[in-house]
Structure 1
Amino acid sequence: MIHDYFRSFNLFSEDEIEEFLKFSELRLINKNDYFIQEGELCKEVGLVKSGIFRSFYTSDEGKDMTYCFRFPNHMIAAYSSFVSGCPSKESMQAITNAELIILKKEAVDELVKNSINWTKFLKIIAEQEYLELETRFFQLQRDSAAQRYETLIKNHPDYIQNIPLQYLASYLGITQRHLSRIRKDVSF
């Protein structure tokens, strides 16, 4: 799986992928445990091998607001904290048991130093994150909650049933009651 993931970028030699694997470690995260919590420094990135994560922040009213899900073959990090060295403004929690391939910041720096391909890879990932953020912004501005729900089902049909309703409702910006009505109207 890891080899296929990195091969899909058409950047890396097999030796570069093996170098990544030497620097990386496998981490198991239990359901409801955190990859990172708000206020911590993010000093590592992960590639989701299995499981589902949610990213959320705490509102001024003390309510957690889910704004993103991470599925297998997605990178996970509190990116602004990772880049800036400032405390994270978000938490990332496993909503199922999960496996991550972890790479510490020092290892990322070493890979970048050894090969321009890792710099290119990080640029691609940053661009993908930006595009995802832009898409999410426009979804919230233009699409109804039902349309956002249908998009989530279309893009991640194998995982949607594993996301608790309160996180789905928060992600969609609606109440659980409204989500129940939408789910009745939308067929899988």
Structure 2
Amino acid sequence: MNDLLYKNISRHIQLSEEEFQRFSKPFQLKNFKKKEVVLQEGEYCSFEGFVLNGCFKVYFLNEDGSEQTLYFAVEGWWITDLDSLINNVPSTLNIEALEDSEVLMISKKEKEDLYEAMPKIEKLFRIMNQQSSIALQRRILSLMNKTADKRYHEFLEKYPTLEQRLTQQQVASYLGISHEFLSKIRKKIALGK
């Protein structure tokens, strides 16, 4: 269960076996069924979750009520609403399981206790937050500067196995286009244009 978590954090910091056991102890294993809501807009987010298996969408609702997907989280990814968690404000995001999933959850308080007990952990989450900020910045720039065709090609290159786990509507929501327009892009690719 903790092998994936260990591999994930080992990309950023090194922990001894004893340190890793101390780090992983506060995490609780939670199971979510397909379509189960982990966090709903308006609630206060009090957790960070590490996905062991399954798939989640993290999204918000536009003024017209349509979904706009911020990101998907699969094995080895983290889920949370950082703004709500850090600033103790109501969430603007929704997190929903797209498959039956298992997540290691840690509360804000338990994470902050780890910061005090193990300074390496504060470094770990600082590095992860920096990388998350970079990824979101790149995503915003892509949405603002690239055509839908290019964004779709980037999505396929960056996440080659993810599309098979998602509906066309979910992919379109992530790309910021209608599913009808995504159908046209796919048709054009299939015809080799």
TM class by shorter chain equals: over 0.9
Q: Given that residues 6 and 17 in structure 1 are in contact (C-alpha distance below 8 angstroms), is that contact kept between their aligned partners in structure 2?
A: no
What is the RMSD of the two structures over their aligned residues, measured on CA atoms? 1.4
Match of 1:150 among 153, 178, 182: 153
Indicate yes or no: 2:105 matched with 1:102.
Answer: yes
Indicate yes or no: 2:135 matched with 1:132.
Answer: yes
Moved more, 124-133 or 4-13: 4-13
2:186, 2:156 → 1: CA distance?
Answer: 11
Indicate yes or no: 2:84 matched with 1:81.
Answer: yes
Q: TM-score with structure 2 length normalisation?
A: 0.91
Equivalent residues in 2 for 1:3-152 (5 A)?
A: 3-152=6-155
- Three-state SS of the structure 1 residue aligned to 2:25 is helix
Q: Given that residues 52 and 71 in structure 1 are in contact (C-alpha distance below 8 angstroms), is that contact kept between their aligned partners in structure 2?
A: yes
One-letter code aligned to 1:101: L
- Three-state SS of the structure 1 residue aligned to 2:51 is strand
Aligned residue-pair number? 187
One-letter code aligned to 1:73: G
Q: TM-score with structure 1 length normalisation?
A: 0.94
Q: Given that residues 51 and 94 in structure 1 are in contact (C-alpha distance below 8 angstroms), is that contact kept between their aligned partners in structure 2?
A: yes
Would you identify which runs of 4 or more consecutive aligned residues in structure 1 move more than 4 Å? none
- Three-state SS of the structure 2 residue aligned to 1:101 is strand
Moved more, 150-159 or 130-139: 150-159
1:11, 1:34 → 2: CA distance?
Answer: 34
Identity of aligned residues (%): 27
Moved more, 43-52 or 11-20: 11-20
2:48, 2:40 → 1: CA distance?
Answer: 14
Gap regions ≥5 residues in structure 1: none
Moved more, 51-60 or 80-89: 51-60
2:187, 2:18 → 1: CA distance?
Answer: 51
Match of 2:181 among 158, 178, 184: 178
Q: Given that residues 34 and 101 in structure 2 are in contact (C-alpha distance below 8 angstroms), is that contact kept between their aligned partners in structure 1?
A: yes
After superposition, give the CA deviation of every residue in 1:110-165 in whole Å (9 maximum; x if it has no partner): 11010110110111111011101100111011111111111111121122111111
Shift of 1:6: 2.1
